[in-house]
Each structure stands twice: as C-alpha cells, then as structure tokens.
Amino acid sequence: MHEAANVETLSRRSAVMRLLGTIVGFIGVILGAPLVVFLFGPAIRGRPEWRWLGQSIPPTLAARVPWVRVGSLDSFPSDTPTLVKLSVPVQDGWIQGDAPIAVYVRRTGPDQAAVYDIHCTHVGCSVAWNAAARRFFCPCHGGVYDPSGGVVSGPPPRPLDQYATKVEQGVLYMGHLTLRGA
C-alpha cells in the first residue's frame, strides 16, 4: 500500500513540475519575443542600419510626399542661411502623421536656393547659424561649417547634408535628403 502512494506522489510531482515548466516557458517567450525583435528586427526586414556614433545620419522621413513647399523664394535673403520650421507628412510603419522639422534655407541666386539639414554630421546635434561669424556652429563638439555647409574645422566627417530643391513659379520646394561627401 505504501508503494501505491509513492507512485501517486511521483506522478503528481511530475505533473506540477511540467505545469510550472510550461508556465515559465510561456513567460520566457512573452518576455523574450520583444527583445529578439528589437535586436534582429532591422536584419529581418532586410535593411540593417548598424551605425557607430561617428557615422550619424539625420532622421529619415520615410514615405513622405516627394516635394514639400518651403515658401516663396523672395522671402529668403540672398546668401544668408535662414532657419525655417516645417511640418512634413511622414509614415512610420502604419502610423501616418505630420512631423515638425527644421532646415536652413540659403538663397544662392535669383531662381536657386540650397536647403540644409540642421544636424551636425559628427553625432547629429543641431547646428546654429551665427550671422556675425558667418558660420554654422555645433555646440556639442565644436564643429564649424561655412555658409554653404562645408566643414571648416572640428570633428565633422563631411559637409552638412542637403535636400534636393526646385523652384516653381517663385515657390521653393525641398525633396529628398542627400548625404554629401558620404
């Protein structure tokens, strides 16, 4: 009679252990799945974006309209960068909306302009135009750019990135971002 009770206890014990093992495994899958997606998601989607800090790339505006209206070309002073804040339609996954961005616009001729991204190409800090010095300065690591976005001094590896531009009937439009000197 003692043996029958012992067999019954072992089967209960193994059933409880299996149940606990199943619960722990289930919890592990639930907690581990987001970690796996975070670590390997870009590679699974086919576009790995592994970068070091020195290879900073400004935020991309995925699936936005090809040309965004910046403003009347006559409203920008000649050869002086002007900070312009825009709202640009973006799509991130299935979420669509407007994203606020800032750019520097420099009128280079009667029907021409350059639109620069405001992020330093070193680590991505925002640059500021200093009219007295006629230079862009990055406050984080001392990067200095000339009015056309070229590197003057400091750690930036390449010039300021620039948006494609077009002028139609006196209105300036900006297009895709081009990584200069990459």
Q: Are residues 69 and 117 in the same domain?
A: yes
Instruction: Please say if the pLDDT value at position 108 is more than 60.
Output: yes
| Gap between the Cα atoms of 82 and 75, Å rounded | 10
User: Is the pLDDT score of 89 beyond 90?
Assistant: no
End-to-end CA distance of the chain: 82
Shared domain check, 161 and 85? yes
Q: Which of 28, 50, 72 is the last residue of a domain?
A: 50
Cβ(43)–Cβ(70) under 8 Å?
no
Please tell me the predicted confidence (pLDDT) of residue 96: 74
Q: What is the pLDDT of residue 44?
A: 65
pLDDT number for residue 144: 96
pLDDT band at 34; cut points 50, 70, 90: confident
pLDDT in the model for residue 166: 94
Q: Taking the C-alpha atoms of 160, 143, 104 and 117 in order, what is their torsion angle to the nearest 10 degrees? A: 40
Q: Are residues 169 and 83 in the same domain?
A: yes
pLDDT number for residue 127: 95
Q: Do residues 38 and 64 both lie within one domain?
A: no
One domain for residues 100 and 142: yes
User: Within this chain, do residues 129 and 72 fall inside the same structural domain, yes or no?
Assistant: yes
Together in a domain, 39 and 101: no
| Sequence-ordered list of residues with C-beta below 8 angstroms from that of 148, at least 6 positions apart, any chain | 106, 114, 159
Secondary structure, 3-state, 57-120: CCCCCCCCCCCEEEEEHHHCCECCCEEEEEEEEEEECCEEEEEEEEEEEEEEECCEEEEEECEC
**pLDDT for 7:** 54
* Tokens at 123, concatenated: 């680590």
Residue 128: pLDDT over 80:
yes
CA–CA dist 127, 144 (Å, integer): 9
Mean pLDDT of 91-109: 83
Owning domain of residue 37 = 1-50
Q: Domain check: are 130 and 81 in the same one?
A: yes
Residue 24: per-residue pLDDT: 95
Q: How many domains would you assign to the chain?
A: 2
Residue % of the chain over a pLDDT of 90: 49
Residue at which a domain ends, from 31, 50, 69: 50
Residues 19 and 97 in one domain: no
CB 174 within 8 A of CB 70: yes
75 with 101, same domain: the answer is: yes
pLDDT at 110: 87
Distance (Å, whole) CA 63 – CA 86:
17
pLDDT tier, 54 (very low <50, low <70, confident <90, very high otherwise): very low
DSSP state for residue 25 in the 8-state scheme: H
Same domain as 124, residue 45: no
**pLDDT at 105 exceeding the cut of 90:** yes
Q: Are residues 46 and 93 in the same domain?
A: no
